[in-house]
Amino acid sequence: MIALMLIGAVALMAGIDGHAEEALSVQQVVDVALEVNPQVRAARARWLSAQHSIQQNYVPADPQFLFTNGDSPTNPFANNLWQGFYFSENFQFPGKAQLQADIARGSADIARLTYQAVSRDIRAQAEIAYYQVVLDHALRKLNDENVAALQEVLQVVKVAYSASQAAQSDFIAAEFNLATAQQQADTLKVAEANDRTVLNQVLNREPDAPLPLQERLDLTALTAREQNLAARATYKRQELLEAALAQRNSQKALSLAKLEYAPDFLFGYEYNNWDSRYAAPCATCVGTHNFFMGLNLPVFFWIKQKEDVKRAGYDLMAAREDLSSVKTQTVAMVAQLYRQTQLAYRMAVLYRDTLTPLAQQGLKVALIAYQSAKIDFLTLTNAVQQTNSAKVSYVQAANQFLAGKVALEQAVGEPLSQ
C-alpha cells in the first residue's frame, strides 16, 4: 500500500510539472504538499532522529583500557621492569538507565507529535492558499460580470443622452464607473498571481509554475457540534498531547534527579606482567591479577543533588500549568472558531439564496425604470453597486466559511471528516 501511494504521488507530481490539463482538487493539492513540503520532511527527519536516541540509554559508558610500561631505568618505552594492563567499566545505579530511556522515548513521541503538527499546519496552509486562489478567480469573474453590467448601463445612458433624456454628467459618470471596473481587473489579476505563488511555495515549486485547479467553492454545512469538537480536541490536538508528554517527562526527570543521591559504580580488572623477578611480589611470580571496584560519593549533595531535585520539581510544576493552559486555550479556540464559521456559513447562504437574487432583480427593474425616466442615474448606479456588492459578499463569506473550517481542523488536530 505504501508503494502504491508513493507511485501515485510521483505520478501526480509528474502531471503537475508536465502541465497536465486535469485540474486538481483541494485534497490532491494537500496530498502533494504533505509529500514534498520541506518543513514536513524536516519534521519527519527530526522524529526519526529522536527514535534513534532511545536504546543507547540502556548501554553503559564505553569501557576504559590502560596500558602501563612501568619502572624503566632508561626511558618510558624500553627496559621496563613490569607491564600493566587495566580494564575498567562504569555502571549507573540500577534504574537510572530505564528512566533515561523513558525520557528519550517521551522526547521521540513529542518529536512525532511535532511532525504531525507540522503536517497539520502545512495541510491548512495548502487548503487556505487553494481557497484564496479560488476566491481570487471568483472575484475576477464577478468583476467581469460587473464590467458587463456597467457596459449595459453605459449603453442605456448613451441612448438616453442621445435622446436628450439624460444629462451629460450621467454619461460621464457611467464612463468613469466602467473604466474603474476595468482597471480593477488588473488588480485582481495580480492578486491571483501572488496567491498562486503562495500555493506554489507550499508545494515547493517555482513561483510562476502553472497549477490547474478545480476553481469552485464547496459550501457544505458544518454538521459537527461544538461540544463534540471540543472533546475531540482535548485528545487529538498535537500541542495538548505534547504538553501531556512534557509533563510525564518532567515527572520522570524528577525521579531521575532523586536517584542522583544513589551512587554509581566502577569495576575494574588489572593484570601485571613482571619482566624482572626482583620487582615481582615473589620470585616465582610471572604475572599477577587484581580486581577493584569503587563508587562515587555524593558528598556535595546539599548544593548539587538537592538543587537538581528542586529544579526538577519546579519543572514538573511548570509542565502541569502548561498543560492546563493549553487545555483552556484549545477549548476557547474551538468555541470561537466554531461561532465564526457558523456565522460565515449563514451569511454566505443569505447572500446566495436571498440578497443576490434580490439585487439582480432590482438591477433589472432599475434599468427599465431609468429608460422610462422614473428614476435618476444615481439610483441606477446604486442598483449596479448593490448587485456587485452582494455577489462579492457571497464569495467572501463562503471563503471565510472554508477558512474557518480549516482553522477548526487545526484547533481540533485532525480533519473534521475523520
Residues 103-119: tens digit of each pLDDT? 999 999 999 999 999 99
Question: Residue ranges per domain, the chain?
Answer: 2-36+92-263+298-412
Distance CA 85, CA 180 (A): 93
Using the predicted structure, report yes or no on whether residue 18 has a pLDDT greater than 50: no
- What DSSP line would sit under 157-221, residue for residue? HHHHHHTT-S-HHHHHHHHHHHHHHHHHHHHHHHHHHHHHHHHHHHTT--TT----B--------
Cβ(266)–Cβ(88) below 8 Å: yes
pLDDT band at 2 (very low <50, low <70, confident <90, very high): very low
The DSSP element (H or E) to which 17 belongs, if any, is helix 2-17
The three cell numbers locating residue 190: 495580480
Cβ(404)–Cβ(337) below 8 Å: yes
CB burial of residue 250 (10 Å; 0-12, 13-18, 19+): buried
Pick the CATH number of 2-36+92-263+298-412 from 2.120.10.10, 1.10.1740.10, 1.10.3720.10, 1.20.1600.10: 1.20.1600.10
Look at residues 408, 366, 383, 382 and name the one whose alpha carbon lies nearest to residue 156.
366
The three cell numbers locating residue 251: 515527572
Work out the average pLDDT over 231-249: 93
Look at residues 149, 203, 200, 201 and name the one whose alpha carbon lies nearest to residue 177.
149
Q: Which residue has the cell 569503587?
A: 294
Work out the average pLDDT over 278-293: 85
Percent with pLDDT over 90 in the chain:
65
212 phi/psi in degrees, rounded to 5: -70, 130
β partners of residue 65: 87
The three cell numbers locating residue 262: 544513589
Using the predicted structure, report yes or no on whether residue 24 has a pLDDT greater than 50: yes
Distance CA 254, CA 261 (A): 12
Distance CA 344, CA 408 (A): 13
pLDDT at position 418, please?
Answer: 67
Using the predicted structure, report yes or no on whether residue 13 has a pLDDT greater than 80: no
pLDDT at position 373, please?
Answer: 83
Per residue in 304-315, pLDDT tens?
Answer: 889 999 999 999
Indicate if the alpha-carbon torsion angle 336, 341, 346, 352 is positive or negative: positive
Look at residues 152, 262, 242, 217 and name the one whose alpha carbon lies nearest to residue 352.
217
DSSP 79: S
Q: Which residue has the cell 543521591?
A: 261
Helices (H) and strands (E) in the chain, counts: 10, 4
Per residue in 208-234, pLDDT tens?
Answer: 999 899 877 778 888 889 999 999 999
Using the predicted structure, report yes or no on whether residue 76 has a pLDDT greater than 60: yes
pLDDT band at 20 (very low <50, low <70, confident <90, very high): very low
pLDDT at position 215, please?
Answer: 77
Per residue in 163-183, pLDDT tens?
Answer: 887 788 888 998 999 999 999
The three cell numbers locating residue 401: 466559511
pLDDT band at 403 (very low <50, low <70, confident <90, very high): very high
Per residue in 313-354, pLDDT tens?
Answer: 999 999 999 999 999 999 999 999 999 999 999 999 999 999
- What DSSP line would sit under 108-169, residue for residue? HHHHHHHHHHHHHHHHHHHHHHHHHHHHHHHHHHHHHHHHHHHHHHHHHHHHHHHTT-S-HH
**Which of 16-30, 188-202, 254-268 is least confident?**
16-30
DSSP 292: E
Cβ contacts of 6 within 8 Å, gap of 6 or more: none
pLDDT at position 353, please?
Answer: 94
Look at residues 142, 212, 191, 22 and name the one whose alpha carbon lies nearest to residue 398.
142
pLDDT at position 188, please?
Answer: 93
Work out the average pLDDT over 379-408: 93
